[in-house]
């Protein structure tokens, strides 16, 4: 059953949200996950194969009385080119007895395609139904330069309540399991490789805050970059966070994948409002941590995302402050145009102003890109995923000086 982190009767101020979401759930996520800490498939005695990394799969296969070489063949069936097996009858290369054992004891699939929607720019939004009936969204974005990106979800909804984000309106329903995350990338390959060519990039920029579900996200990312399996380059698997500092540090230590940080404001005052996680981990702490941690990473650049909101974070002074904030941090900056959605308070910054903002940063030596919206006519763009329903996260009080801008 869906678990909302607040109810309609909860006071809409920050502190109730803060206590419930940031203090308790960040320490020990209490929400039900489909497969919280193992590979058992709930409601069934079968083991979920995509919950396991290769050493775990190998161990399990051996525990069933089979050789490690058979585990590798199975791994290649699950993740290897042009197989991406979802059912027992796609395990053709494996020996008969081993296949029988798998069909009795293991399950290959945890997502069901509910619908696929195509935007006018070719972006596809896939809706998946999970084992418990909840729905997640995954976006596949073809790009003319031979690059295709799959944008995966890490949670159903999100607890962070960023005020500009549609997913944030849902609140957090639950974390996704490793299998549910990995399978989004497998499905993208299965469904679209013949049409778009190889799916080359993964971004954890769909529904949810990946570092709120860090265990499953780090494991899913490691399965995605496995050289015998999906073979994504670690540089091309990017996990994006709103700025959960302890988890960010852990990620930089444990994973070789890329990091993106959604900055979206240049003062604590604005960030506290539009991204309430900033009240726990403020700009100084977030950027200081990055500055410190990246000293030890060789040729590593963090990507800063900056969603431009008219009259809120797009002034000349914001540009100047942004230059100072990122000074000394090896980084690239993506300026993202705000994707409106129903009920949103904000307006997108006009294109000419985004260009001016970009130019100020570029002249100061920043590596900066403008990122036009993709898939927005089918609600497939950044911050447009999900279905909030009747019970929604609270809208926070607009600071006095921004009342005119919203
Ligand atoms: N929770 C993570 C990843 C998912 S959000 C994070 O916040 O980083 C992915 C990106 O979408 C973030 O950079 C976020 O700032 C951006 N985003 C959210 N809502 C948006 C909107 N309405 N328009 C444009 N970008 C948005
Ligand atoms: Fe969650 Fe990211 Fe949306 Fe913020 S922007 S509510 S962290 S998904």
Is the domain of 181 the same as that of 257?
yes
Nearest alpha-carbon partner for 216 in 35, 70, 402: 35
165 CA from centroid of ligand 1 (Å): 6
Q: Is the per-residue pLDDT at 257 higher than 80?
A: yes
**pTM, 2 dp:** 0.90
Is the domain of 55 the same as that of 135?
no
Q: What is the rounded CA–CA span in Å between residue 29 and residue 39?
A: 18
27-44: pLDDT as tens digits: 333 343 434 333 556 567
CA dihedral 74, 79, 84, 86 (to 10 degrees): 60
Instruction: Please count the structural domains in the chain.
Output: 2
Asked, for residue 30, whether it belongs to a domain, the answer is: no
80 CA from centroid of ligand 2 (Å): 32
Are 351 and 317 contacting, i.e. CB atoms less than 8 angstroms apart? no
Is the domain of 162 the same as that of 246?
yes
Is the domain of 235 the same as that of 304?
yes
Asked, for residue 327, whether it belongs to a domain, the answer is: yes
Q: What pLDDT, on the 0 to 100 scale, is given for residue 374? A: 73
Q: What is the rounded CA–CA span in Å between residue 35 and residue 233?
A: 27
Is the domain of 196 the same as that of 305?
yes
Active site residue 137: yes
Half-sphere exposure of 384 (CA within 13 A, CB side): 18
Q: What pLDDT, on the 0 to 100 scale, is given for residue 172? A: 96
Average pLDDT, the chain: 88
Asked, for residue 84, whether it belongs to a domain, the answer is: yes
For residue 191, give the H/E element and its range: helix 178-196
Is the domain of 97 the same as that of 241?
no
Q: What three-state secondary structure class fits 56?
A: helix
Asked, for residue 13, whether it belongs to a domain, the answer is: no
Ligand nearest to the CA of 239: 1
Is the domain of 195 the same as that of 80?
no
Q: The domain containing residue 71 runs over which residues?
A: 47-107
269-282: pLDDT as tens digits: 999 999 999 999 99
Q: What three-state secondary structure class fits 211?
A: helix
The domain spanning residue 269 has which CATH number? Answer: 3.20.20.70
Q: What pLDDT, on the 0 to 100 scale, is given for residue 22? A: 35
Ligand nearest to the CA of 238: 1
**CA–CA distance from 340 to each of 74, 241, 277, 373 (Å)?**
44, 21, 22, 10
In this structure, the residue with its CA closest to atom 4 of ligand 1 is 205
Asked, for residue 17, whether it belongs to a domain, the answer is: no
Q: Tokens at residue 205, please?
A: 């920029």
Q: Is the per-residue pLDDT at 405 higher than 90?
A: no
216 CA from centroid of ligand 2 (Å): 18
Asked, for residue 1, whether it belongs to a domain, the answer is: no
Q: What is the rounded CA–CA span in Å between residue 356 and residue 76?
A: 49
Asked, for residue 399, whether it belongs to a domain, the answer is: no
Are 127 and 106 contacting, i.e. CB atoms less than 8 angstroms apart? no
Is the domain of 95 the same as that of 141?
no
Residue 37 makes CB contacts below 8 A (sequence gap 6+) with 215
336 CA from centroid of ligand 1 (Å): 9
Q: What pLDDT, on the 0 to 100 scale, is given for residue 14? A: 30
Active site residue 165: no
Is the domain of 127 the same as that of 259?
yes
Nearest alpha-carbon partner for 148 in 99, 199, 194: 199
173-227: pLDDT as tens digits: 999 999 999 999 999 999 999 999 999 999 999 999 999 999 999 999 999 999 9
- Ligand 2 nearest atom to the CA of residue 168, by list position: 6
Asked, for residue 59, whether it belongs to a domain, the answer is: yes
Residue 313 makes CB contacts below 8 A (sequence gap 6+) with 264, 265, 266, 270, 274, 306, 307
Neighbours of 328 (CB within 10 A): 12
- DSSP letters for 160-176: S--TT-HHHHT-EEEEP
Is the domain of 84 the same as that of 143?
no
Nearest alpha-carbon partner for 312 in 261, 369, 272, 358: 272
Q: Provide the angle, in degrees to the nearest 10, between the axes of the packed helices 68-79 and 96-105.
A: 70
Is the domain of 99 the same as that of 178?
no
207 CA from centroid of ligand 1 (Å): 9
- Ligand 2 nearest atom to the CA of residue 167, by list position: 3
Is the domain of 304 the same as that of 177?
yes
Q: Is the per-residue pLDDT at 25 higher than 80?
A: no
Q: Is the CB of 303 under 6 A from ligand 2?
A: no
The domain spanning residue 70 has which CATH number? Answer: 1.10.150.530
| Ligand 2, pocket-test mutation among 209, 313, 384, most atoms within 8 A of CB | 209
Q: Which of 137, 180, 183, 209 is catalytic?
A: 137
First to last CA, the chain: 35
Phi/psi for 82 (5° steps) reads 65, 15
Nearest alpha-carbon partner for 118 in 140, 151, 147, 145: 140
């Amino acid at each position: 059953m869906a678990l909302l982190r607040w109810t309609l009767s909860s006071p809409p101020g920050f502190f109730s949200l803060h206590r419930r979401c940031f203090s308790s759930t960040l320490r020990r996520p209490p929400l039900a996950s489909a497969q919280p800490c193992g590979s058992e498939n709930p409601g069934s005695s079968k083991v979920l194969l995509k919950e396991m990394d290769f050493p775990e799969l190998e161990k399990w296969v051996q525990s069933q009385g089979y050789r490690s070489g058979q585990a590798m063949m199975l791994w290649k069936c699950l993740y290897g080119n042009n197989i991406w097996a979802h059912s027992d009858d796609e395990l053709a290369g494996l020996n008969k007895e081993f296949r029988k054992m798998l069909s009795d004891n293991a399950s290959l699939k945890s997502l069901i395609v509910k619908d696929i929607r195509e935007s006018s720019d070719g972006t596809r939004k896939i809706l998946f139904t999970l084992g418990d009936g909840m729905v997640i969204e995954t976006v596949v974005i073809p790009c003319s330069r031979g690059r295709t990106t799959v944008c995966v979800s890490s949670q159903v909804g999100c607890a962070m309540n960023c005020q500009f984000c549609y997913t944030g309106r849902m609140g957090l329903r639950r974390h996704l399991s490793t299998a549910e995350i990995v399978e989004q990338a497998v499905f993208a390959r299965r469904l679209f490789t013949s049409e778009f060519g190889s799916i080359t990039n993964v971004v954890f920029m769909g529904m949810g805050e990946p570092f709120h579900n860090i265990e499953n996200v780090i494991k899913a990312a490691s399965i995605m970059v496995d050289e015998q399996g999906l073979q994504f380059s670690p540089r091309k698997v990017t996990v994006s966070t709103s700025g959960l500092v302890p988890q960010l540090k852990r990620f930089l230590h444990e994973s070789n994948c890329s990091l993106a940080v959604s900055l979206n404001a240049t003062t604590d005052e604005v960030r506290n409002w539009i991204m309430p996680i900033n009240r726990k981990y403020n700009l100084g702490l977030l950027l200081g941590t990055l500055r410190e941690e990246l000293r030890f990473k060789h040729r590593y650049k963090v990507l800063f995302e900056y969603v431009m909101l008219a009259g809120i974070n797009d002034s000349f002074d914001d540009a100047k402050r942004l230059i100072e904030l990122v000074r000394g941090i090896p980084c690239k900056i993506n300026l993202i145009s705000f994707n409106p959605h129903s009920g949103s308070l904000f307006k997108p910054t006009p294109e000419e102003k985004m260009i001016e903002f970009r130019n100020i940063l570029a002249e100061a030596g920043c590596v900066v890109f403008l990122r036009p919206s993709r898939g927005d006519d089918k609600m497939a763009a950044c911050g447009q995923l999900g279905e909030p329903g009747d019970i929604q996260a609270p809208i926070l009080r607009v600071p006095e000086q921004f009342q005119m801008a919203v």
